[in-house]
C-alpha cells in the first residue's frame, strides 16, 4: 500500500525550492519584450524554459513549441493512451497592496504568498511532483503521461490554440487550475467591447469629465479607478469623503490647476466571480451619476451605473441560468474615457452551458442602444463539459476520496481552463473546499500543507488514470 501523502511530504523541500524559483519570475504577458522565440514576452519565455529544464532533469522528453507552449513526455505519445496534464506559467499583473513583494515568495503562518501561488504555478509544480512520485516509485503504467505548459492562459489562451495546431493533444486528462473536488463543466464566454455610437460633439456643461480610467484585464475586477474633472468641481470634492465612507471604500480627491482627480480603491477578484470583489470603476461612476456632465460623459456614466453590482446581467437584460452551471455573470473589467484608447468598456460575460450567445448579443444591443452605445467587437469562447459517467471522472473521484475521505462532488465554474482543449478534460484542484480562493487578488497564497496534499492527490490520480 503506497502512502501517497508520505511520498509528497518527503519531497517538501525540493518542491518548495522548485516552486520558489518559478514564482520569482514575473511572467506577466509583455508584448513589448516579445520575440520570435518568446512570443508572450521575455519573462514568460523564461518561465517556460524553467519548467522545461525542471522536467528534463527528471528524465522526461521535452519540447518547446515555438515559445507558445512546451511539453514533457513520460512514455511514448499516443493521443488515445496518453494522459494530459495542462498547467500555465503566465500570471495576471500583481495589482493592489501586497504585504510582501508579489514576486518574492514568502511563507507566513503556513501560507506561501506570491503571485501565481494558487493560479497556477503552485498547482503546476504540484502536478509535476505528482508525476515525479509515480516515476521514482517505478510504478507500472499502461498509459503515458504528458505535462503541457501554456504561456497565455490569462489573456485568451492563444498558446493552446497554437499548440493544438502544431502538436497532438491528448483526449483525456486534467488541468490543475481551479478547485477540488473537480470541475466537470465550464461556462462559455461572451466578451464584448462597448463604444459610443457617435463621436462627441461640442457642448456646454457645468462639469467636464476629462478622463476616466479603471481596470487592466477583463478577467479581473478593477481594483482602482481614476477620474479627472474640471469646471464646478468644489461641491464634488466636498461630498467625496462622505460618499466613500457610505460605500466603505478608500477614496482620495486632489485639486490641481483647476482640475480634480478622484481615485477609488476597491477589491480585486477573478472576473468570473465579480461578486467577490469591489469594482472601483462602477463605484466611481456611482459617485458621478448626479454630476452635471457633458452629454457623452453622462451616457458613459449612465451605462456604468447600469453595470454597478449587476453581477448577473439583469439590468443589462442578459440574465440567464441553467441547472448545470448556474447563473450568467458579468464583469466590466476595462473602462476608459478620454484616454488614448478612446471611450470604451470591455466586459466579460460568463455564460451557462445552455445559453445562446446570439440571444445575449441581441438583448445586450437593445440595452446599449438606450445609452447611445454599441458593440464594436466580441471575443467568444464556447462552454465545455464532460459526461458525469466518463472513466476520467470516476478515476479522479477515486483519487480525491481516497486521499481526503471527503465526497468527490462535481462542480461547475465561470472560469475557463485548459481542460476545454481535451475532449474529456476536467479541472482538478488545487483549491480545497472551504478554503479562500485568492487567484487574481493581492496577497495571493496557497497553504503549504494544501500544496503537499494536492501533490499526493495528483500522484494518486496519475497512477489511477494511467495504471
- E-assigned strand segments in 111-265: 111-113, 144-150, 172-175, 178-179, 182-186, 188-196, 207-214, 224-231, 250-256, 259-265
Give Cβ neighbours of residue 344 (< 8 Å, ≥ 6 apart). Answer: 193, 194, 195, 334, 335, 336, 376
Q: 326 pairs with which residues across the strands?
A: 322
Pairing of strands 224-231, 259-265: antiparallel
Query: Would residue 90 show up in a list of annotated catalytic residues for this protein?
Result: yes
| Euclidean distance between CA atoms 282 and 333, whole angstroms | 10
CA distance 30 to 133: 35
User: Which set of grid coordinates corresponds to residue 236?
Assistant: 464634488
Rounded Cα–Cα distance for residues 249 and 231 (Å):
25
Q: How far is residue 163's CA from residue 427's CA, in Å, rounded to a whole number?
A: 19
Reading the block at residue 409, the C-alpha cell is: 462532488
Among the listed residues 7, 90, 154, 273, the single catalytic one is: 90
Chain Cα centroid distance, residue 405: 29
Cross-strand partners of 22: none
Distances, alpha carbon 48 to alpha carbons 51, 63, 87, 88, 266, in Å = 5, 11, 11, 9, 33
Residue 19 CA, distance from chain mean position: 20
For residues 419 and 193, the answer to whether their CB atoms sit within 8 Å is: no
443 is catalytic: no
Catalytic residue among 26, 153, 450, 464: 153
Closest to 131 (Cα-Cα) out of 167, 90, 84: 84
Query: Helix (H, G, I), strand (E, B), or coil: what is residue 268?
Result: coil
136: CB partners within 8 A, 6+ apart: none
- Cβ atoms of 141 and 466 closer than 8 Å: yes
Task: Name the nearest CA neighbour of 229 among 212, 209, 246.
Answer: 209
All cell numbers assigned to 391: 472513466
Cell numbers 465612507: residue: 245
Place of cell 479581473: 220
Return the biggest CA–CA distance within the chain: 80
Catalytic residue list = 90, 153
Amino acid at each position: 500500500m503506497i502512502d501517497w501523502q508520505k511520498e509528497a511530504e518527503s519531497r517538501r523541500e525540493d518542491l518548495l525550492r522548485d516552486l520558489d524559483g518559478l514564482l520569482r519570475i514575473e511572467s506577466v504577458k509583455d508584448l513589448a519584450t516579445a520575440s520570435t522565440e518568446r512570443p508572450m514576452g521575455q519573462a514568460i519565455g523564461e518561465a517556460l524554459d524553467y519548467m522545461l529544464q525542471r522536467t528534463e532533469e527528471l528524465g522526461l522528453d521535452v519540447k518547446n513549441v515555438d515559445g507558445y507552449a512546451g511539453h514533457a513526455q513520460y512514455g511514448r505519445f499516443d493521443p488515445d493512451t496518453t494522459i494530459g496534464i495542462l498547467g500555465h506559467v503566465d500570471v495576471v499583473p500583481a495589482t493592489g497592496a501586497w504585504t510582501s513583494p508579489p514576486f518574492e515568495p514568502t511563507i507566513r503562518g503556513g501560507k506561501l504568498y506570491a503571485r501565481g501561488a494558487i493560479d497556477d504555478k503552485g498547482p503546476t509544480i504540484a502536478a509535476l511532483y505528482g508525476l515525479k512520485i509515480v516515476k521514482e516509485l517505478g510504478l507500472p503504467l499502461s498509459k503515458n503521461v504528458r505535462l503541457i505548459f501554456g504561456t497565455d492562459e490569462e489573456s485568451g489562451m492563444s498558446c493552446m490554440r497554437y499548440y493544438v495546431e502544431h502538436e497532438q493533444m491528448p483526449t483525456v486528462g486534467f488541468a490543475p487550475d481551479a478547485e477540488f473536488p473537480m470541475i466537470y463543466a465550464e461556462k462559455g464566454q461572451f466578451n464584448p467591447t462597448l463604444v459610443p455610437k457617435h463621436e462627441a460633439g461640442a457642448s456646454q456643461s457645468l462639469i467636464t469629465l476629462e478622463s476616466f480610467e479603471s481596470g487592466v484585464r477583463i478577467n479581473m475586477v478593477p481594483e482602482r479607478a481614476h477620474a479627472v474633472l474640471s469646471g464646478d468641481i468644489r461641491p464634488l470634492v466636498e461630498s467625496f469623503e462622505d460618499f466613500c465612507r457610505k460605500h466603505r471604500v478608500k477614496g482620495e480627491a486632489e485639486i490641481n490647476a483647476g482640475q480634480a482627480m478622484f481615485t477609488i480603491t476597491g477589491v480585486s477578484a477573478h472576473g468570473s466571480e465579480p461578486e467577490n470583489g469591489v469594482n472601483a470603476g462602477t463605484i466611481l461612476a456611482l459617485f458621478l451619476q448626479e454630476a452635471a456632465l457633458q452629454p457623452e460623459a453622462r451616457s458613459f456614466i449612465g451605462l456604468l451605473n447600469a453595470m454597478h453590482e449587476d453581477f448577473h446581467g439583469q439590468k443589462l437584460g442578459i440574465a440567464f441560468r441553467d441547472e448545470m452551471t448556474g447563473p450568467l455573470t458579468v464583469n466590466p473589467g476595462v473602462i476608459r474615457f478620454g484616454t488614448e484608447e478612446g471611450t470604451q468598456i470591455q466586459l466579460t460575460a460568463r455564460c451557462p452551458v445552455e445559453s445562446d450567445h446570439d440571444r445575449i448579443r441581441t438583448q445586450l444591443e437593445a440595452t446599449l442602444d438606450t445609452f447611445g452605445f454599441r458593440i464594436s467587437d466580441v471575443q467568444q469562447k464556447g462552454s465545455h463539459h464532460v459526461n458525469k459517467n466518463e472513466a476520467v471522472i470516476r478515476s479522479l473521484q477515486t483519487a480525491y476520496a481516497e486521499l481526503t475521505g471527503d465526497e468527490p462532488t462535481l462542480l461547475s465554474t465561470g472560469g475557463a481552463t485548459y481542460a476545454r482543449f481535451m475532449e474529456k478534460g476536467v479541472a482538478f484542484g488545487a483549491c480545497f473546499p472551504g478554503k479562500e480562493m485568492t487567484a487574481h487578488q493581492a496577497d495571493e497564497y496557497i497553504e503549504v500543507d494544501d500544496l503537499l496534499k494536492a501533490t499526493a492527490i495528483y500522484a494518486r490520480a496519475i497512477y489511477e488514470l494511467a495504471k
